[in-house]
Amino acid sequence: MNIYRAHILVCNGEKCNSQNAQAIYDEFKTQIKKNKLEEELTVVQTGCIDQCSQGPVVIIYPSGVIYTMVRIEDVTEIVTEHIIRGNVVNRLLGGENINLDSVIKSLDQVDFFKRQVRIALRNCGVINPESIEEYIAYDGYQALAKVLTGMTPEQVIEVVKESGLRGRGGAGFPTGVKWEFTARAKGDQKYVCCNADEGDPGAFMDRSILEGDPHSVIEAMTIAGFAVDSNQGYIYVRAEYPIAVKRLNIAIAQAKEHGLLGKDIFGTGFNFDLEIRLGAGAFVCGEETALMTSIEGKRGEPRPRPPFPAVKGLWQKPTLLNNVESYANIPAIILKGAQWFSSIGSEKSKGTKVFAVGGKIQNTGLVEIPIGTTLREVVYEIGGGIPNGKEFKAAQIGGPSGGCIPASHVDVAIDYNSLVQLGAMMGSGGLIIMDEDTCMVDLAKFFLEFTADESCGKCPPCRIGTKRMLEILQRITDGKGTAEDIDKLEILAKNIRVSALCGLGQSAPNPILSTLRYFRNEYMAHIQDKKCLAGVCKSLMQYVINAEACRSCGICSRVCPAGCIKGEKNVPYVIDQTKCIKCGACMEKCPFKAIYKNA
Amino acid sequence: MKSIAELNQIKKDALARISGNNGFRVMVGMATCGIAAGAKPVFNTLAEEIKQRELSNVDLTITGCIGSCRLEPLVEVIDPLGRRVTYAKVDPQKAARIVAEHIVNGRICLDYTIGAALSAPN
Ligand SMILES: Cc1cc2nc3c(=O)[nH]c(=O)nc-3n(C[C@H](O)[C@H](O)[C@H](O)COP(=O)(O)O)c2cc1C
C-alpha cells in the first residue's frame, strides 16, 4: 500500500469543469510525473465542494490549503513552490470567502436519508450490534422493563393493537389481534416464533435488522412472550445468513448473561428463553405452517389452515409467529406509545415499512419510509431516479408473490390497501425497479421459474400448475405462443389461486396476472407479431450488422464465441443467424457501433 | 438483571463511553453488504493505524447496515464535538488517510465524503 506525502484535490464539479478543471487536473498529473513525484503525491478529482463562484478549486493536503480560481498556468507554480519548496502561493488563496461548511459531509444530510423515518432500523448503523451495552445505551430493554414491571399482558396487547401495526412479513395481518388470539388460546405450553427466513429474492430487510440490531428482536420476542404467556421462543433463520446467525448468537448469550433472558427477568418471576433454528433456505419454509413443521424437525411442508398457529402451531401448541421487522417495531411502540406510532403512516396503514430497493435505480439499498409515501418519491427522490437516462417502466413489489405497478401509477401512495387495488401487494419489502429495457413477459417468467422451482410439491395445484404456467410463458417468449395461451394462463392462474394449499401456490400467479393487467400489449406482441418490444427475449430478436457503418475491422468475428460472423477486408461482415447464440459480445465490442439489436 | 436501576446504570455508563466528550467514535458498516464491498480490510487498517499512532481517544467499532449499498464500505467519524462525517467507498488507503488527516490533524478528507461520492461522475 502506498502512503502519499500529499494529496492534491482538484474539484470536478460541473462549474469547475466548465472552467477547465479537467485540464488543470491533467496538468498536475503531467507536472508530478515530470518532477518524478508519483511515489509521494497523488492527484484526485473530487465531487463538487460547493465553492462554485471561486472555481476551479484545488485543495492540497495535508496542509489543507485551498487555492481558488486556479488557471492552468498556475499549476507549475503550485507544484514548484508549494509541493517542492513548501511555500504557500498566497496570491491564489481564496481568503475568507471560503466556507467548507456547506459541503455535504454526512449521510444524514443526503436526500436518500433525509426522507426516511427509521423505527425498525433505528439502531442499524448507529450501534455496535455485538454490544448489549450499546443497545442499552439507546434505550434498549427499557420497553421490556416497562412491560414487566408496570403493565399487564392485556395492556401490552392493547397498545400493540392500538398502534395499528400490521405484519411486515407479507400478509399484513394486524399484529395486536394475532397476539390477542394467541393469548386467549388455551394451552399448557405456548411458543413465540420469529420468521427470519426471508425468501424473497433480492430482499434483505430482515437480514439487516438481525445484523445491525439483533437485541431489538430478542427484546420484542420477550415482550411477546409476556403478552401471550409463553416462556419459550424460536428464531427461524436461514443458514445462508451466517453473520446474522453469529450476531444473534452473541446477542442471546449476552442477554442471558445480563439476566434479560432466562429466569426471573427483572425480578418479576417471568421466565423466557430463546433458541435459534436454522433453515436450509427453501422459500416455502417462510410460510408459517411450513416454518413450524421445519422447526419440529420434519420436512418443511405447509399444513392446512385452520387450525391457525395461534390455536395449534408448533408441536400442536398455541404459537405466535411474527416477522423480524414486525418485532423490531415493538420496543419503540411500547416506549413511545401507540399514538406516536399511529401518527406515522397513512390513514389506514400505520408506521413505516422497510424496502430493499434494487434493479434499475441510482441509489440501490435499504430504505425505511412512512407508509403512504408515493412510489414517485421512492423512485425519484430517495432512489435518485433511473440510471443512464432511461425511462421508469414499472416496479415489482412483493417479489414472486407480488405484482407490478406501472409508470402510469407512479403516484400511488404505498400502503396495504392501495396496492391491493392495483393488483399488487405490500409484500415483505422487495422493491425492484425496472426501466424501459425490461420485458414484462420475461419478468413474469423469471418469477414463475422461481416459484415452480421452490414449490414443495405437496399439493398438485402448485406443483403442476406453476409448471404448466411456466411452460406457457416459455412458449410465448420463444415466439411460439398462440392467442389461446393467454386464456389458458388466466384460467390456470385463477384456479391455482383458489386451490393451492398455501400462500406460495396461491400467490404464484400474481406476477402473471398483474403483468397481463398492465402490459397485455407486450404479451400480444410476442404472440401475434413475434416481437419482444424491449429486445430481451432472445428468440425474438437478432443481432444485425449495419453494412454501411461496418468498417470490416473483424473484431466482431474474433470475439464471437460461436464463430458465426464472417467477412473480409472492404466487405461488410455478416452474422449467420442460424448459428448466432445471441450473446451480444459482438455488439459490445464493435468500435463503430455498427451492430444493433433488431427486435 | 434484577431491577430497572441496574439497567439504567448500564445505560449511563455506555452512553458516557459512546458520546464521551473527548474522543472520536469511528464506525465501520459491517453488515453482509459492507463486508462484501471490502469493509474488513478497511476495519483492520483503521485498527492498525490507531494502534501504531497510539491514539487512545478513538473508539473504533463495527456497526450494521446504514442502507446505502452502492456507497459501501462506509465509515462514519464522529468527532469530540459530535460532528458527524460519513466517508463512502472507503478502501484501506483512504482509511489510513482518514486517521492521519481527520483524526490526528482534525481536517476532514473532503474528497472521500459521501457528498463527494454522490456528486462524482459514476
Ligand atoms: C411462500 C411464502 C413465503 C413466506 N416467506 C416469509 C418470509 O420469508 N418471512 C416472513 O416473515 N414471512 C414470510 N411469509 C409470511 C408468513 O407466512 C407469515 O404470514 C408471517 O411470517 C407472519 O408474520 P407477520 O404477521 O409479522 O408478518 C411467507 C409466506 C408464504 C406463503
> Tens digit of pLDDT for each residue in A10-57?
888 777 888 888 899 999 999 889 888 888 888 888 777 767 777 888
Q: Check CB contact under 8 Å for B115 and A103.
A: yes
Q: Check CB contact under 8 Å for A45 and B32.
A: no
Binned at pLDDT 50, 70 and 90, residue A460 comes out as very high
Half-sphere exposure at residue B54, Cβ-oriented, CA atoms within 13 angstroms = 0
Residue B15 within any structural domain of the chain: no
Is the beta carbon of A522 within 6 A of some atom in ligand 1? no
Backbone angles phi, psi at A309, to 5 degrees: -55, -35
Count CB neighbours of A460 within 10 A. 13
Q: Check CB contact under 8 Å for A365 and B67.
A: yes
A249-253 CB contacts, 8 Å cutoff, 24+ apart: A249/A276, A250/A130, A250/A214, A251/A129, A251/A130, A251/A132, A251/A214, A251/A215, A251/A218, A252/A218, A252/A276
Determine which residue's CA is closest to atom 10 belonging to ligand 1: A169
Is the beta carbon of A176 within 6 A of some atom in ligand 1? no
CA–CA separation, A71 and A582 (whole Å): 50
Q: For the domain A541-598, what is the CATH code?
A: 3.30.70.20
Residue B2 within any structural domain of the chain: no
pLDDT at A42: 84
User: Candidates A323, A425, A426, A463: which one to mutate for ligand 1, based on the most atoms within 8 Å of Cβ?
Assistant: A323
- Dihedral sign (CA A478, A481, A486, A489): negative
pLDDT at A186: 96
pLDDT at B121: 53
Look at residue B61 and tell me whether its pLDDT is greater than 90: yes
pLDDT at A96: 57
Closest atom, ligand 1, to C-alpha of A327: 26
Binned at pLDDT 50, 70 and 90, residue A95 comes out as low
Of all helices (H) and strands (E), which one includes residue A18? helix A14-18
Nine-digit cell at A162? Answer: 392500538
Mean pLDDT of chain A: 93
- Nearest residue of B to residue A49 by CA position? B116
Portion 25-84 of B in contact with A at CB < 8 A? 27, 29, 31-33, 35, 61-70, 74, 76, 84
- Dihedral sign (CA A322, A326, A327, A331): negative
A369 contact B CB<8A? no
Among B13, B31, B116, the residue with its CB nearest the CB of A211 is B31
- pTM for the predicted model, two decimal places: 0.88
The CATH fold of domain A440-529: de novo design (two linked rop proteins) (1.20.1440)
Residue B64 within any structural domain of the chain: yes
The CATH fold of domain A6-107: Glutaredoxin (3.40.30)
Binned at pLDDT 50, 70 and 90, residue A398 comes out as very high
CA distance B30 to chain A (A): 8
Query: In the beta sheet, which residues pair with residue A233?
Result: A192, A274
pLDDT at A289: 97
Look at residue A194 and tell me whether its pLDDT is greater than 90: yes
CA distance B21 to chain A (A): 16
pLDDT at A20: 86
Q: Check CB contact under 8 Å for B68 and A105.
A: no
| Interface predicted TM-score (ipTM) of this complex, two decimals | 0.94
C-alpha of residue A323 to centroid of ligand 1, in Å: 7
CA–CA separation, B26 and B86 (whole Å): 10
Q: Could you tell me what percent of chain B has a pLDDT over 70?
A: 95
Q: Collect all residues of chain A within an 8 Å Cβ-Cβ radius of residue B14.
A: 131, 133-134, 136-137
Q: Check CB contact under 8 Å for A136 and B70.
A: no
CA–CA separation, A551 and A591 (whole Å): 9
Is the beta carbon of A180 within 6 A of some atom in ligand 1? no
- Between helices B4-18 and A142-150, what is the axis angle to 10°? 170
Mean pLDDT of chain B: 90
User: Candidates A180, A195, A197: which one to mutate for ligand 1, based on the most atoms within 8 Å of Cβ?
Assistant: A195
CATH number of the domain bearing residue B44: 3.40.30.10
Of A103-112, A316-325, B61-70, B103-112, give the lowest mean pLDDT range.
A103-112
Nine-digit cell at A252? Answer: 442471546
pLDDT at A493: 97
Of A187-201, A229-243, A509-523, B16-30, give the lowest mean pLDDT range.
B16-30
Look at residue A102 and tell me whether its pLDDT is greater than 70: no
Query: Rg (Cα) of chain A, in Å, rounded?
Result: 30
Nine-digit cell at A330? Answer: 415493538
Binned at pLDDT 50, 70 and 90, residue B108 comes out as confident
Look at residue A99 and tell me whether its pLDDT is greater than 70: no
The CATH fold of domain A352-435: Ubiquitin-like (UB roll) (3.10.20)
Q: Could you tell me what percent of chain A has a pLDDT over 70?
A: 98
Q: pLDDT of A298-346, one tens digit each?
A: 999 999 999 999 999 999 999 999 999 999 999 999 999 999 999 999 9
Closest atom, ligand 1, to C-alpha of A166: 25
B13 contact A CB<8A? yes
- Cα torsion at B75, B78, B83, B84 (round to 10°)? 20
A414-442 as b/e, with b when 16 or more CB fall inside 10 Å?
A: bbbebbeebbbbbbbbbbbbbbeebbbbb
**DSSP string spanning B46-106?**
HHHHHHHTT-TTEEEEEE---S-GGG-S-EEEE-TT--EEEE-S--HHHHHHIIIIIIIT-
B107-121 as b/e, with b when 16 or more CB fall inside 10 Å?
A: bbbbbbbbbbbbbbe
Of all helices (H) and strands (E), which one includes residue A365? strand A365-370
A588-595 CB contacts, 8 Å cutoff, 24+ apart: A589/A555, A589/A556, A589/A559, A590/A555, A590/A556, A591/A553, A591/A555, A592/A549, A592/A550, A592/A551, A592/A553, A593/A549, A594/A545, A594/A546, A594/A549, A594/A550, A594/A551, A595/A543, A595/A544, A595/A545, A595/A546, A595/A556
Look at residue A432 and tell me whether its pLDDT is greater than 70: yes
A545-565 as b/e, with b when 16 or more CB fall inside 10 Å?
A: beeeebebbebbbeebeeebb
Q: For A256-276, what is the mean pLDDT? A: 97
- Nearest residue of B to residue A356 by CA position? B67
Residues in chain B: 122
Binned at pLDDT 50, 70 and 90, residue A100 comes out as low
A515-519 CB contacts, 8 Å cutoff, 24+ apart: A515/A403, A515/A404, A515/A440, A515/A441, A515/A443, A515/A444, A516/A486, A516/A489, A516/A490, A517/A423, A518/A394, A518/A404, A518/A406, A518/A408, A518/A440, A519/A394, A519/A404, A519/A406, A519/A440, A519/A441
Q: How many domains does chain B have?
A: 1
Look at residue A207 and tell me whether its pLDDT is greater than 60: yes
Centroid of chain to Cα A574: 42
User: Candidates A277, A288, A454, A463: which one to mutate for ligand 1, based on the most atoms within 8 Å of Cβ?
Assistant: A288
Cβ–Cβ under 8 Å, residues B94 and B87: yes
Binned at pLDDT 50, 70 and 90, residue B73 comes out as very high
Residue B72 within any structural domain of the chain: yes
Look at residue A231 and tell me whether its pLDDT is greater than 60: yes
Q: Whole domain around residue B54: which residue ranges?
A: 25-119
CA–CA separation, A329 and A264 (whole Å): 25
Backbone angles phi, psi at A197, to 5 degrees: -85, -35
Cβ-Cβ pairs closer than 8 A, A with B, add up to: 189
Look at residue A105 and tell me whether its pLDDT is greater than 80: no
- The domain segmentation of chain A, as residue ranges, is 6-107, 132-342, 352-435, 440-529, 541-598
Query: In the beta sheet, which residues pair with residue A172?
Result: none
Is the beta carbon of A323 within 6 A of some atom in ligand 1? yes
A132-342: CATH superfamily? NADH-ubiquinone oxidoreductase 51kDa subunit (3.40.50.11540)
Report CA-CA distances (Å) from A66 to A228, A481, B101.
Answer: 64, 66, 15
Residue B95 within any structural domain of the chain: yes
Q: Check CB contact under 8 Å for A106 and B86.
A: yes
Is the beta carbon of A433 within 6 A of some atom in ligand 1? no
- CB within 8 Å of B80: residues ≥ 6 apart: B21, B22, B23, B24, B57
Determine which residue's CA is closest to atom 1 belonging to ligand 1: A504
Of A16-30, A92-106, A498-512, give the lowest mean pLDDT range.
A92-106
Is the beta carbon of A169 within 6 A of some atom in ligand 1? yes
Look at residue A132 and tell me whether its pLDDT is greater than 90: yes
Residue A321 or residue A87, greater confidence: A321
Residue B6 within any structural domain of the chain: no
Cβ–Cβ under 8 Å, residues A254 and A127: no
pLDDT at A507: 97
Q: Check CB contact under 8 Å for A44 and B74.
A: no
Query: In the beta sheet, which residues pair with residue A370?
Result: A352
Residue B97 within any structural domain of the chain: yes
Q: pLDDT of A160-186, one tens digit each?
A: 999 999 999 999 999 999 999 999 999
